[in-house]
Chain A
Amino acid sequence: MAAVESSTKVVLGGRRGGPDVTTLRQDRWWIQPVVTVSVLTAFVIYSTWAAFQNKNYYAGSVHRDLISPFYSPCLANSCVAGSAHGFILHNWNLSPALIILIFPLGFRLTCYYYRRSYYRAFWWSPPACAVADAHATYSGETRFPLIMQNMHRYFFYAGVVFNVILTYDALRALRQPGQGWGVTVGTLVLFANAILLWMYSISCHACRHLFGGHVKSFKKHPIRYWFWKVMTPLNAKHMNFAWTSLIFVALTDVYVRLVASGALTDYKLF
């Protein structure tokens, strides 16, 4: 680099102060990684189990049109009657969930908030602030595969498509075949799920950048500035939306599964 003079050269080495220990922290810094590992592991185990079930994901024949978010849009040849949105992959005979879960999974895996969480909790790089990194060498996100984290915005686009479909599913859950329109507990569950997923997407860092953050002058781009102003406070709550939407999407699948299997009645509210 032409501008770097010898006087500004970084000098490496030199003995550091303090004892050579993992950390001097005395608080319970390990609680946060333990909670993160517990919740994310539970979600991965449940979603994997649910994805391979390939049944009880749609309650449409006698109930409201309720479909699990893990299976929507239902694109496989094996989709039960009424659950498909039109387009079908005729050669796909495995669980329909396996076609689509890669997109929401990719969106969360490359999410800036989740990166913070799983780098700390699973990779211990570092496990907590001012606690020593568990690895001898470190290249961050400069090499494959972690350099692929830069593709986050494309998973964001895919996530928005899924949000539109899940919102459509919630609207469809207002309908009960043969009995007209109304609202059940299942309808509210699907709406709440769609709203939380929208909030998670809108509060995304890539979304804030794409809608307004990338400009140099807000004065010259008043509409982008408006988007940026609206999204910035939501962005500050991105962690909250990340956890609530993750947990609620699993609970939505549980609810639809219970209704579809006949274990639970989807009560009509009005």
Chain B
Amino acid sequence: MANVTMRVWRGDAGGGDFESYTLEQNEGEVVLDVIHRIQATDAPDLACRWNCKAGKCGSCSAEINGKPSLMCMTRVDELPEGPITVAPMRTFPIIRDLVTDVSFNYAMAAKVPALLPPPMPEGGYTMFQEDVARGQEFRKCIECFLCQDVCHVIRDHEDNKAHYAGPRFFIRYAELEMHPLDTNDRRDLVREEMGLGYCNITKCCTEVCPEHIKITDNAIIPLKERVVDAQYDPVAWLGRKIRRRTKRSADEAAVQPAP
């Protein structure tokens, strides 16, 4: 087999640069395999996260030849010839080498108001298959945070992190908003404090999702349409007035935080 040259980012918060490693290319290897061989031979101090090596734990996110990808799901022989560039996720602060501090995502996760079902009826809650199936797509998320990494709203504008939940959490909000047993109304919350309006539908989150979740079409746009129902549609507003339906405010929705 031919050799493969890997340009791997080495460094920490103090700075860094790419270092090149040339190894023999083995048949069927993924990028994570080669990174492990570099650790085993040339650079035992090379830091990277990994766990399942099967595209299900979401740990080994990185930018391979500039594209946010899972290292364990990117075959070396499917990449163009020439050196392979492996860099850490750009959106999050670096800890060391390929490891980044993704705590921004945990902070945003903690802000999601949890499911708030009505009081338990006699005989328990009933869910129907068509309603379960709708949210099932969003439950496939492995929290690799590649969608957060590629989203230019926070990738290129650090200040937006203060008021933008990002695509991973918009699918969580969408799932809860579509849940037939949920009584929370998060529409004001996602508009006012989670920055749904910052998303300009460039669909990069959908393009990089390793679970092929249609993040934009099935979560963000339906969420935007629900916000239009609540905020920008005078006909819907009139309908609510006539039927005496009121919305819960962002503050009311927020008093039910995730456990």
Contact = CB atoms under 8 A, between A and B. Distances in A.
B202 interface: yes
Interface stretch (B21-29, B37-45, B104-112): B104-112
Contacts of B110: 4-5, 7-8
Contacts of B255: 2-3
B3 to A, nearest CB: 18
B87 A17 contact: yes
Most buried by B among A11, A129, A142: A129
A126 B202 contact: yes
B58 interface: no
B104 A112 contact: no
B156 interface: yes
Given A17-B11, A139-B198, A140-B199, A216 B180 contact: yes
B103 interface: yes
Contact of B87 (A18, A142, A206): A18
Interface stretch (A71-79, A100-108, A130-138): A130-138
A11 B103 contact: yes
A202 to B, nearest CB: 15
Dominant secondary structure of chain B at its interface with chain A: mixed
A141 B92 CA distance: 24
A156 B256 CA distance: 36
Interface stretch (B70-78, B126-134, B240-248): B126-134
Interface in B186-215: 189, 193, 195, 197-204, 207-208, 214
Interface residues of A, number: 60
Nearest to A136: B157
A180 interface: no
B153 interface: yes
A85 interface: no
Given A18-B9, A216-B180, A129 B204 contact: yes
A119 B202 contact: yes
B115 interface: no
A235 B134 contact: no
Interface stretch (A39-47, A146-154, A167-175): A146-154
B228 A150 contact: yes
Interface string B100-125: 11011011101101000000000000
Given A24-B65, A141-B200, A17 B9 contact: yes
Contacts, number: 205
Contacts of A147: 197
Interface string B59-101: 0000101111000000000001010010111111110011011
Given A3-B113, A10-B161, A209-B222, A15 B202 contact: no
A24 B217 contact: no
A18 B90 contact: yes
A9 interface: yes
A17 B90 contact: yes
A19 interface: yes
B153 A138 contact: yes
A38 interface: no
A205 interface: yes
B92 to A, nearest CB: 7
Given A1-B251, A17-B94, A216-B180, A130 B131 contact: no
Interface stretch (A191-199, A217-225, A254-262): A217-225
A19 to B, nearest CB: 7
B12 to A, nearest CB: 8
Interface in A9-43: 9-19, 23-27
B221 interface: yes
Given A26-B66, A26-B80, A150-B232, A216 B94 contact: no
Contacts of A13: 93, 158
A159 to B, nearest CB: 16
Contacts of A153: 225, 228, 233
A176 interface: no
Contact of A219 (B108, B128, B216): B128
A268 interface: no
Interface string A232-270: 000110000000000000000000000000000000000
The 4 A-B pairs at the shortest CB distance, nearest first, are namely: A14-B93, A24-B66, A17-B94, A25-B66
Given A17-B90, A140-B198, 9 more contacts: A9-B107, A17-B87, A116-B202, A129-B207, A138-B153, A141-B200, A142-B197, A150-B228, A214-B229
28 contacts: A3-B254, A3-B257, A8-B110, A8-B111, A10-B162, A15-B14, A16-B88, A17-B9, A17-B87, A17-B100, A18-B94, A19-B18, A25-B65, A116-B200, A129-B150, A129-B202, A130-B66, A130-B68, A130-B150, A138-B153, A140-B153, A142-B198, A150-B231, A209-B221, A214-B225, A216-B178, A219-B131, A236-B214
